[in-house]
Structure 1
Amino acid sequence: MKKIVFVITLSFFLVGCSEISSSEPLTYNETSREVTTIEHLDSKMFTHHYMYDNMDRGNHDYFNKTLVVDPNYKEVSRGDVVLFEKDNGERSLSRIVALPEETIAIQKGQIYINNKKLDTFYGFAHRAGLDKKAYVELMENETNQKSVKEVFNYSMKNLTLSNEEYYLVSDDWFRGEMLVVRKDKIIGQVMGYKK
C-alpha cells in the first residue's frame, strides 16, 4: 500500500514539474533589433535590393534597401533574417522563428515553440513595429481595423517541422507571411545594409 501511495505521489509531482517547465518562456535575446551597416563584403557575399515592406518594424526596415547576403550560412539561429526562394521562384525575406524538429504553434498572436512562449521582440504579432494595444489605439477610427485585429488574434495549431525545415515569419504580420521553408531554399543570411 505504501508503494502505491508513493507512486501516485511521485506521479503528481512529475506532472506538476513538467507543467512548470512547459510554462517557462523560451527567452531569446541574442538577436538585435537593429540592422547593421556592412562596409566591406566578403568575396562570397552578394547584395540584393529588396522592395517589399513585410519586415517593417516602424522604420521601413529592409524596404527599398540594398542588403548584404552571406550565402555561406552554416550556423542557422532563431531570429536570423534570411533571403529564401519561394516555390514560385520569387526571392523574399523573413525571420527564422522555429528550427528543424521543433513544434510551433500560435495562439492569439503569440508564438510558442515546443509549448513554450517565445519571449523576444519577434515572438508576437506586430504591425509597423507596434503591438496590438498600440496599433488598435492608433487606428481607432480606421475602416480596416477588423482585418488588423484578425492578425493580432491569429492562431495556428501545432506544426512539427522535419529535420530539413524552418518556420519563417515576417516582422510585420499584416504585410508579411508565415511559412515552412526547406533548408535547401534558404539562399543566405541577411547580414545588414550595404554602406
Structure 2
Amino acid sequence: MKHIGLSFGVLLILVGCSFKTSLEPITDQYTTPNNIATIETISPEMFIYQHHYDNMDRGNHDYIEKPLVIEPLVDGYKISRGDVIFFHTTNEEKDISRIVALPGEEIKIIEGQVYINDKKLDTFYGFAHRLGLEKDRYFEMMDDRNQYNNNGMREYFDTNMDQIKLASDEYYFIDDDWMRGKMGVIKEQDIAGFVLGYIE
C-alpha cells in the first residue's frame, strides 16, 4: 500500500512539472531591441543593401537609417528565431523581416500576442506594438494628442490569427512594426541571407 501511495505521489509531481513546463513562455536571450550591430569589415561574399521601407522601425528609424550588411545564406547555416532575414518577394522585390516561428512549429496570434506551440512568445517581437510602443503606452501617448483612429488602432493591437502548422522547410516571419509591415510563411529556399547590421 505504501508503494502505491508513493507511486501516486511521484506521478502527481511529474504531471505537475510537465504542466508547468508546458505553460512556460518561449524567450529569446540573444536578440535585443534597438541594438543593431555596426559592421566594420565585410568579407567578399557579403553585400550592402539599402532598405527604404519602415516595416522594421521600432521608433528609431531602425533598419532604414544606414545601409545594411547582408550575409548570404549558405548550406548548413542554422536559421534561428529572432534572425532578421533578407529575401526576394513574389514580385521579385527585395525585403527584410524577422523570423518568429521555426519548421514544424504551430503559430497563432491571440489579441496581439504571438503563441508558438501554445506557449507565449515572450520577447520584444512577440506582440503588436507601434513604433516600439506597447499597447498601453501607445494609447496613453496618443490620447494626449487626441488625433487618431482609436477604434482602428485597438483592432490592430488586438490582432488575431488562426493557428497554422509549419512544414519542415517553412518559417514564419513578422515585420517588427505589424501596422507598416506584413507577416507570412516563407520557404527556406526563398531566404537569401541575414541582416548582420549597419555598415560602418
Count of aligned pairs: 194
Partner of 2:52: 51
Partner of 1:90: 93
Which amino acid counterpart does residue 54 of structure 1 have in structure 2? N
Which amino acid counterpart does residue 72 of structure 1 have in structure 2? L
CA contact (8 A) 1:51 1:65 kept: no
Alignment gaps of 5+ in structure 1: 1-5
Partner of 1:158: 163
Separation of aligned partners in 1, 2:15 and 2:159: 30
- Among residues 115, 119, 127, which one is paired with 1:116 in the alignment? 119
- Compare the two structures and name the one with the higher strand fraction: 1
Which amino acid counterpart does residue 95 of structure 1 have in structure 2? R
Separation of aligned partners in 2, 1:103 and 1:8: 33
Which amino acid counterpart does residue 44 of structure 1 have in structure 2? E
CA contact (8 A) 1:44 1:72 kept: no
The normalised TM-score by structure 2 is 0.87
Separation of aligned partners in 1, 2:197 and 2:161: 31
Separation of aligned partners in 2, 1:186 and 1:76: 10
CA contact (8 A) 1:55 1:61 kept: yes
Deviations 1:85-124 (A, max 9, x none): 1112111111000011111111111111111111111111
Note the C-alpha offset of 1:132.
0.4
Separation of aligned partners in 2, 1:90 and 1:15: 50
Question: In terms of mean alpha carbon deviation, does 10-19 or 104-113 score higher?
Answer: 10-19
Percentage identity across paired residues of the two chains: 48
Deviations 1:46-69 (A, max 9, x none): 011100001011101012531100
1:26 aligns with 2:26: yes
Separation of aligned partners in 2, 1:121 and 1:112: 13
Question: In terms of mean alpha carbon deviation, does 134-143 or 110-119 score higher?
Answer: 134-143
Q: Secondary structure at the match of 1:158?
A: strand
1:191 aligns with 2:196: yes
Separation of aligned partners in 2, 1:113 and 1:23: 11
Say if 1:158 and 1:12 are closer, same or farther in 2 by CA, change over 3 A: farther
Coordinate RMSD, CA, aligned: 2.3
Question: In terms of mean alpha carbon deviation, does 12-21 or 119-128 score higher?
Answer: 12-21
Separation of aligned partners in 2, 1:158 and 1:152: 18
Which amino acid counterpart does residue 85 of structure 2 have in structure 1? V
